[in-house]
Amino acid sequence: MLAASTQSISAELRHRFESAKRVLVLTGAGVSAESGVPTFRGGGNSAMWKGVPFDVISSATMVERDLQAVWEWFDYRRNLLAELQPNAAHFEIARWQNQFEQCTVVTQNVDGLHQKAGARDVIELHGSIWRARCISCNARYEIQLDKRRSELCIACGDRLRPDVVLFGEILPPGAFEVAAERASECEVCFVIGTSGIVYPAAGLPEIAKSAGAYLCEVNPELTPLSGLCDAVLTGKAGEVLPLLK
């Protein structure tokens, strides 16, 4: 498959990009791949932790069955993230927020790299690896790398769990609703580095498209959303996004 080049950016995409006032950017694990963060799927492989598929360990059932194992998986990933930096794609998206009147960044990622690159008001559909949440009262706590992570809730004494959205769990209150509203208002919607199979996030491009937005996918592979998109830029986000300048 041919990678995107300045030539593959059509005149229409360039025009839409230059004239848009409201843009929505939906990102997935692929946007962080060039920072060294492993994706969940893609290339025909599925992430594993100690021989357990990620969709088993990242599940509500596992929180009930073996919270300790879930913490180990997230502690491992958080420690990995501590060494990693945002890449050109994160920085480009953060820059877009100064370029457009409204540029909403909606991410499925829990890594915090958009914010580290300077993006503001990021809608984190699947929570954050940098927070813990009480399993009873939902009180939330920041997790700092240099401090020992607390195991119990200060407010009610019950156990804490990672503040991320696992399979079968509902999204943070209001997050999808705000994202869906922005999707229905945007003129251009970018779909970057997501396999587009996890809902409700994967429904956002459909909302944008039915409200008349121009859809552009950036991904080295085709996805179930590719057919819906007006432009498909085949390549790595960190290489493709700077071509839009």
From the CB of 203, what's the least distance to ligand BJW, in Å?
8
As a whole number of angstroms, the distance between CA 65 and CA 233 comes to: 42
Q: Which stretch binds ligand BJW (CB under 6 A): 4-12, 14-22, 95-103, 216-224?
A: 216-224
As a whole number of angstroms, the distance between CA 217 and CA 44 comes to: 19
Out of 16, 78, 182, 236, the only residue in the binding site for ligand BJW (CB under 6 A) is 236
Out of 103, 105, 166, 204, the only residue in the binding site for ligand BJW (CB under 6 A) is 166
- Nearer CB in complex with ligand BJW: 108/115: 108
39 binds ligand BJW (CB under 6 A): yes
Q: Facing residues of 216 across strands?
A: 190, 231
119 binds ligand BJW (CB under 6 A): no
Residue 137 near residue 161, CB atoms below 8 Å: no
CA distances from 121 to 39, 95, 103, 151 (A): 23, 13, 10, 28
Active site (annotated) includes residue 15: no
41 binds ligand BJW (CB under 6 A): yes
- Helix/strand/coil for 162: strand
- Nearer CB in complex with ligand BJW: 31/134: 31
**Residue of 15, 90, 114, 126 marked active site:** 126
40 binds ligand BJW (CB under 6 A): yes
- Helix/strand/coil for 171: coil
As a whole number of angstroms, the distance between CA 107 and CA 115 comes to: 11
Choose among 154, 135, 27: nearest CA to 89. Answer: 27
Out of 44, 51, 168, 227, the only residue in the binding site for ligand BJW (CB under 6 A) is 168
108 binds ligand BJW (CB under 6 A): yes
| Residues belonging to the active site | 126
